[in-house]
Structure 1
Amino acid sequence: MDLNSTASEDFDSTTTRQSIFKRILSKIPFSVWLIVPVECFLLFLLIVPSVISIWLSFVEWQPTFGIPIFDAPFVGFENFVGLFSDERFIMAVLRTFLITGIAVTIEFLIGLGLAVLCDREFPFRKFFVLCLLMPMMLVPLVVGNNFFLLFQPTGPINDIISRVIGHDFKFDWLASPDYALFPILFAEIWHWYPLMFLIMLSGLRALPPNQLRAADVLGSSKIQTFFRIKIPQLVPVILIAIVIRCMEIFKMFDEVFILTKGGPGTVTETISVYMYKIGLKDFRFSYVSAGAWIVLAVCVIVFTLLLKPLLYKTEKLEE
């Protein structure tokens, strides 16, 4: 009798658990089940390389050592200490920040100016907007090759300068330590100002028209309306656009590698080019892994500071 009752209780508890499990599964939408495999795969792609990279940053390992990664000798923070005393690494990081600051600022000014221009109806407006967006459609490889040809000693840039000044001008921009950064900046700005323009134009088009009409009725000038009504409401859009561009330009590799390969010397070497050379040419994988985590930490701090005003404004609106 006791055995039967025990078996019956076990059966009932098992049945109860199964029914609860089935009810939970039935409440999960079918659309969620469709994305679960992809999400698991993406998590795998994120977690596994991150774990390997963290481990590599604390050991001394190269492919030429002939030993598995997890058998490499543990060196602690030696790679990090070496990077903080590596002038080439520090200059690459600072140079990347310099390029990012200059390029994003100019892209923002161009994008905002063109967005204000296109935030009104005029003949062939759609065609004009389409033409402005075309550079963004090109892959970085094509952009890099085009600007490489433009800035050759016998290229169109020098030819235009020669016609303006009235005598022959042949200057090797890409081989000059003082001016090699200019072609990179021109290429990056020309390639990605359309993204800033598109975001700014979308933000301007989304502004509530009632406030703009009220400002016109009250006699506000176009400049006053722009700086006192439009710009304050565009601040969240501007911050998001700047953060997106900063994240993208910080990874810039193609244009720099095609135009100068980080040269002459290391005067145009960005953090991506530096890591490529140290990691895939010198095979110092542990050193590069430590550098990647340092750069990630710096980027998180900088982008958090950039987004802080946006988060503060969002919290105020929610209150």
Structure 2
Amino acid sequence: MSAVTATIPEDVMKTVQAKPTLREEGVKLGFRLTLPAQILVLFIAVFPLLMQLYISLTDWSPLSGLGWWSAWSLWNNFANYTDLAADARFWSALKRTAIVMIVCVPAEFLLGLALATLFADEFPGKRIFYSILLMPMMVVPAVAGYMFFMLFQSGGPVNDI
């Protein structure tokens, strides 16, 4: 018995692509819906970061009379960074910042976690303690508003100039 192989001409065969799944469509839709926010982040965060990196490689100053886009004429390569690396005050400040970060961040995290765990359960006086903890959030904006009220009065320090 011999096997017979059928050959189909190329023009008759079609390539059929599978339709995208609902998940793939959802990913594409999600990307399209978040695109305006991503563009906003690009202009709010990434552009200023790149601009400051560019300016840090120059001797440009806002008082130089040039716009930041013309700072390339004051290019100094990495002189600002070598000056920074040679400054003892920078290393002292970096050391203090690292110590504060190593001590304060875990302490604040643990304190916040402990308070969240405490307030997750019901106990007598929970509302009073909750009010005491939220008081600084209410007082700071009120004090700031009162300070601006006092500063901008007709006889206040700002308008009295």
Instruction: Tell me which residue corresponds to 2:64.
Output: 65
Note the 1:26-45 alignment, pairs <5 A.
27=25, 28-29=28-29, 33-45=32-44
Q: Name the CA shift for 1:45/1:105 in 2 (closer, same or farther; >3 Å).
A: closer
Q: Name the CA shift for 1:49/1:109 in 2 (closer, same or farther; >3 Å).
A: closer
Q: SS at 1:59's partner residue? A: coil
Instruction: Tell me which residue corresponds to 1:76.
Output: 77
Q: Name the CA shift for 1:94/1:136 in 2 (closer, same or farther; >3 Å).
A: farther
State the superposition RMSD in angstroms.
3.4
Q: Cα distance, 1:79 vs. partner? A: 0.8
Note the 1:173-192 alignment, pairs <5 A.
none
Instruction: Tell me which residue corresponds to 1:188.
Output: none
Note the 1:305-316 alignment, pairs <5 A.
none
Instruction: Tell me which residue corresponds to 1:52.
Output: 51
Q: SS at 2:47's partner residue? A: helix
Q: Name the CA shift for 1:52/1:83 in 2 (closer, same or farther; >3 Å).
A: same
Distance, in Å, in 2 between the alignment partners of 1:96 and 1:138 is: 28
Higher helix share: 1
Which has the higher Rg, Structure 1 or Structure 2? 2
Matched, 1:87 2:88: yes
Note the 1:77-226 alignment, pairs <5 A.
77-115=78-116, 117-118=118-119, 120-136=121-137, 139=140
Q: Name the CA shift for 1:58/1:68 in 2 (closer, same or farther; >3 Å).
A: same
Letter of the 1:72 partner, please give it: S
Letter of the 2:50 partner, please give it: V
Q: SS at 1:82's partner residue? A: helix
Structure 1 gaps, min length 5: 1-22, 144-319
Distance, in Å, in 2 between the alignment partners of 1:94 and 1:41 is: 35
Q: SS at 2:74's partner residue? A: coil
Note the 1:4-23 alignment, pairs <5 A.
none
Q: What per-residue deviation string (whole Å, max 9, x for no partner) do you get for residues 277-312 of structure 1?
A: xxxxxxxxxxxxxxxxxxxxxxxxxxxxxxxxxxxx
Q: TM-score, normalised by structure 2?
A: 0.53
Letter of the 2:125 partner, please give it: F
Q: Cα distance, 1:59 vs. partner? A: 1.4
Percent same amino acid at aligned positions? 34
Distance, in Å, in 1 between the alignment partners of 2:139 and 2:38 is: 30
Q: What per-residue deviation string (whole Å, max 9, x for no partner) do you get for residues 86-137 of structure 1?
A: 1222222222223333433443454454445445432232443343244356
Letter of the 2:63 partner, please give it: T
Q: Cα distance, 1:82 vs. partner? A: 0.5
Distance, in Å, in 2 between the alignment partners of 1:138 and 1:60 is: 43
Higher relative contact order (CA 8 A, sep 6+): 1
Distance, in Å, in 1 between the alignment partners of 2:53 and 2:142 is: 31
Q: TM-score, normalised by structure 1?
A: 0.30
Q: Cα distance, 1:83 vs. partner? A: 0.5
Letter of the 1:95 partner, please give it: R
Distance, in Å, in 1 between the alignment partners of 2:141 and 2:86 is: 33
